[in-house]
Amino acid sequence: IRSATSAVSRGKFARLTSSDLSFFEKTIGNEYVKTKEIDNYTMDWTRQMKGGSECVLLPSSTEQTSAIIKYCADKKIAVVVQGGNTGLVGGATPIHDEIILSTSRIKNHFHLEPSSGVLTLDSGFILADADNRLAEHGFMMPLDLGAKGSCQIGGCVAAGAGGIRLLKYGSLHSHLLGCTMVDGKGSILNLGGTLRKDNTSLHAAHLAIGSEGQLGVVTRVTMGVVPRPTSILSAMLAVSSYSHCLRLLSLARSKLGEILSSFELIDGDTMKCVERNLPLKNIFEGSHNFYVLVETHGSNADHDIEKLNGFVEEALGNELAEDGVAANSENERAHIWRLREESPLAAAKDGYIYKFDVSLPLEHFYRLTEETREKLKGRARVYCYGHLGDGNSHLNVTTDGEDEELKKTLSPFVYNWVVSHGGSISAEHGIGQLKRDYRSLGKSAAEGDLIRALKGVFDPHGILCPYKMIPSTQ
């Protein structure tokens, strides 16, 4: 277990008392105030960060959440907000003894307006469950990520989740229409609404996206959902060089156009790691330097199959790819995706892991991996997989033991490299505690002042998720 950031001293927050606990029990019911066996809440998904909360609260509504936050603001009790706890930067787990407010039970309201395709749902709905409920009406959630089976829509909004279909459907900013948020004073803010077009004020609901619990607890989300594609096809290509991958991306955009939904990358070392650490076989004979995964979403299978096969044939024909296959069964499509979606699991099994989630201009995207591999030759293994179509690289580094010097030097090296090449130190995973020390890299002082001022408006007592993305105004 590591404290991911430089040691952050505990703020001037109250210590929990028995009268606090009895207030919480009176407000939400004894069984929803947990003080025992709470490791699954105090430890993050990577099992590498753990805090010392003494209690977990599970309110079932916006109103109960408001009563809790009002009380905590009054008593100066620090609170960390948690959805499905699937995050990768320790944003939803405590640093010290912040109490945990889980949105897991806030999942009563779910309303789809079928003619407009506008969905209003409570924040505790798990992404996959929401998507399954939409399927019955021919709709689909516009985002999909590996954690879909346990991440909650409120947490997706608060984390600014990206995932594997952002290329076609856009980010959550393309879909969020409104949200209910309980701010750090316990006030219930109903921001935005259900209209696709409402230009009557600042679009304050969008502040919730990527807010990481700093401004308030998202308890309800209103968003546009998308028509469920009746034709979903996937192909995988084996590629010799990164420049060929980029040319394949251009070819995919021109040949697949509006049906292109995903364009993912797995580099050769990652594929070898997948084959070594998981019972999963590469779909191609022999090893290649890169693998590209392409998915299309459309409404006419014949039309889509013709376009995808045409794309693969042209890629092979003009030698952009060394090998390529369009999956012709659901099993084959699932296998192709497992190779990509289980790359993180394979890397996690490879030793002590340093995970990155960076955005880079496409011309620099793979250079970072090459320079890191060069720098750490013989000392660490370096993997790269990710959403090439979005310019989002998941560089992962593993070592056999815990290399104390690397712990200190790798993140500064990677993050300074990324910022100096016009990139972002966090594409979709956020800042949390893991990247707290680098949050202002490449940012202007004026922007920092504005962000802190906004934090002060929403959370004047600084009780929400302290020690993380936004320095407290206290």
Binding-site ranges for ligand S2G (CB under 6 A): 88, 146, 344, 355, 357, 394
Q: How far is the CB of 196 from ligand S2G (least distance, A)?
A: 29
The Cα–Cα gap between 155 and 142 comes to: 15
The Cα–Cα gap between 123 and 108 comes to: 9
- Nearer CB in complex with ligand S2G: 146/442: 146
Q: How far is the CB of 161 from ligand S2G (least distance, A)?
A: 9
**Residue partners of 258: CB distance under 8 A and separation at least 6:** 298
Q: How far is the CB of 55 from ligand S2G (least distance, A)?
A: 29
- Nearer CB in complex with ligand S2G: 77/347: 347
The Cα–Cα gap between 278 and 288 comes to: 18
CA distances from 23 to 182, 186, 367, 446 (A): 19, 15, 55, 41
Q: How far is the CB of 387 from ligand S2G (least distance, A)?
A: 6
Q: How far is the CB of 380 from ligand S2G (least distance, A)?
A: 16
At 118, give phi and psi (nearest 5°): -110, 125
| Long-range contacts, stretch 423-426, CB < 8 angstroms, 24+ apart | 423/358, 423/359, 423/360, 423/361, 423/364, 424/358, 424/359, 425/358, 426/89, 426/357, 426/358
- Give the max Cα distance, the chain: 73
Contact status, residue 88 vs residue 353, Cβ threshold 8 Å = no
The Cα–Cα gap between 330 and 232 comes to: 9
Contact status, residue 212 vs residue 79, Cβ threshold 8 Å = no
In terms of residues, how long is the chain?
Answer: 474
Q: How far is the CB of 355 from ligand S2G (least distance, A)?
A: 6
- Nearer CB in complex with ligand S2G: 182/410: 410
DSSP conformation class of 50 = B
CA distances from 120 to 83, 127, 178, 262 (A): 17, 13, 9, 26
Contact status, residue 401 vs residue 352, Cβ threshold 8 Å = yes
Q: How far is the CB of 343 from ligand S2G (least distance, A)?
A: 6
Q: How far is the CB of 425 from ligand S2G (least distance, A)?
A: 14
Contact status, residue 393 vs residue 368, Cβ threshold 8 Å = yes
- Nearer CB in complex with ligand S2G: 295/322: 295
- Nearer CB in complex with ligand S2G: 282/392: 392
Beta bridge partners of 6: none
Position of minimal CB gap to ligand S2G: 344
Q: How far is the CB of 394 from ligand S2G (least distance, A)?
A: 4
Amino acid sitting at position 340 = R
- Nearer CB in complex with ligand S2G: 307/355: 355
- Nearer CB in complex with ligand S2G: 99/380: 380
The Cα–Cα gap between 108 and 118 comes to: 17
DSSP conformation class of 178 = E
- Nearer CB in complex with ligand S2G: 157/181: 157
- Nearer CB in complex with ligand S2G: 155/298: 155
- Nearer CB in complex with ligand S2G: 178/344: 344
Q: How far is the CB of 360 from ligand S2G (least distance, A)?
A: 15
